[in-house]
Amino acid sequence: MLTLRQIEVIRAVMVAGTINGAAKLLNVSAPGISRLMKYTEKSLGIRLFDRRHGRYVPAGEASDVFSQINAVYKKVEDLQFTVKRLESGHGSELKIASVPSIANMMVPRAIERIVAKHPGLLIDVDILKIEEALDYLLLEKGEIVAMSYKVDHPSLDCIALARGKLLCITPPDHPLAERGSVSAEDIARYPLIGIDPNDPYGRIMADIFERRGLSYTMPIRARFGTTVCRLVGAGLGIAVIDQFTVAHDAVPGIRLLDIDEPTAFDTYVAVKAERGLSSFAESFIALLRAEMTAVVKPAS
């Protein structure tokens, strides 16, 4: 029985007509090709090639063998082509969703990296509020949802991404703008722009004041963190926002200030329990985690 390696070598000799030529095609040594050819002919008990003037010419009695070798090699090439298409993502689609805070900067950067790995992959991205994630996953509209809040549901699993922190953002000319960091008390002295505290994402922002029993005013509310940032940039107030929304200078025209109090929060990818993830979804999760971790722990 011929091995795939023997088939590859026989076909290379057929194409090149010489041992040296076959060795160059396969990027191996000529003596190795010669030894394998002698072993193959001996084990088959037939002569595959006639030697004429230094060239290897297919022997007439082996014509059926060469016909089958060509057919096998064509099948191997077809298999390699199919595998390469799968690797590039051709014919495959990745459906993902994210809450706005992660979708603003982190998700696009992760998508850029997965497209570089799988240029033929089709990607469908949806932006959801946290409460919309349940239907998205349970109805299998997509594979994963990037979350800034852990959802407890028996039909969902949550995979940890990164632990982020909150920042205070101000207009450039605000009294707090030149400070390196601010306290919750400092922030509460000024009108805030924010997200409804009853919203799961808004609760993350409101917790730093509630823990200290601080009252604050929020004359302007917006649904998404990106909108909050634009309103701050317009000089309409200050805000507390997560670091992922404003990473990589995503929002020009604002100042980013650390907050003295602990403000850590965890982010997750939610998936439908007991549903296997595609390799593309697993790759995307790893790339998204890498992007978010780089923001939390920037290279020194």
pLDDT score of 181: 93
pLDDT score of 81: 59
pLDDT score of 87: 60
Beta carbons within 8 Å of 211's beta carbon, 6+ residues apart: 184, 261
On the CB side of 52, CA atoms within 13 Å amount to 6
Contact 198, 244 (CB under 8 A): no
Whether pLDDT at 68 is above 70: yes
Whether pLDDT at 198 is above 90: no
Task: Spell out the CATH class of 93-163+266-296.
Answer: alpha beta
pLDDT score of 255: 95
In the chain, which segments carry CATH 3.40.190.10? 93-163+266-296, 166-263
Fold of 4-88: Arc Repressor Mutant, subunit A (1.10.10)
pLDDT score of 132: 86
Of 19-28, 44-53, 184-193, 268-277, give the lowest mean pLDDT range.
44-53
Whether pLDDT at 36 is above 60: yes
Alpha-carbon distance of 197 to 204, in angstroms, equals 8
Confidence band, pLDDT 50/70/90 cuts, at residue 299: low
Alpha-carbon distance of 147 to 266, in angstroms, equals 9
Tell whether domain 166-263 is in CATH 3.40.50.300.
no
Whether pLDDT at 119 is above 70: yes
pLDDT score of 106: 96
Whether pLDDT at 224 is above 90: no
Closest CA to 27 of 50, 41, 9, 1: 9
Mean pLDDT, rounded, of the chain: 87
Q: Select, from the ranges 17-21, 29-33, 139-143, 247-251, the one with the highest average predicted confidence (pLDDT).
A: 139-143
Whether pLDDT at 88 is above 80: no
DSSP the chain: ---HHHHHHHHHHHHHSSHHHHHHHHTS-HHHHHHHHHHHHHHHTS--EEEETTEEEE-GGGHHHHHHHHHHHHHHHHHHHHHHHHHHTTT-EEEEEE-HHHHTTHHHHHHHHHHHH-TT-EEEEEE--GGGHHHHHHTTS-SEEEESS----TTEEEEEEEEE-EEEEE-TTSTTTT-SEE-HHHHHTS-BEE--TTSHHHHHHHHHHHTTT-----SEE-SSHHHHHHHHHTTS-BEEEETTTTGGG-STT-EEEEESS---EEEEEEEETT-PPPHHHHHHHHHHHHHHHHHHS---
Beta carbons within 8 Å of 212's beta carbon, 6+ residues apart: 184, 185, 261
Alpha-carbon distance of 50 to 57, in angstroms, equals 5
In the chain, which segments carry CATH 1.10.10.10? 4-88
Q: How many CB atoms lie within 10 A of CB 133?
A: 24
Confidence band, pLDDT 50/70/90 cuts, at residue 199: confident
Whether pLDDT at 69 is above 80: no
Alpha-carbon distance of 190 to 216, in angstroms, equals 8
- pTM of full prediction above 0.95: no
Q: Select, from the ranges 71-75, 94-98, 149-153, the one with the highest average predicted confidence (pLDDT).
A: 94-98
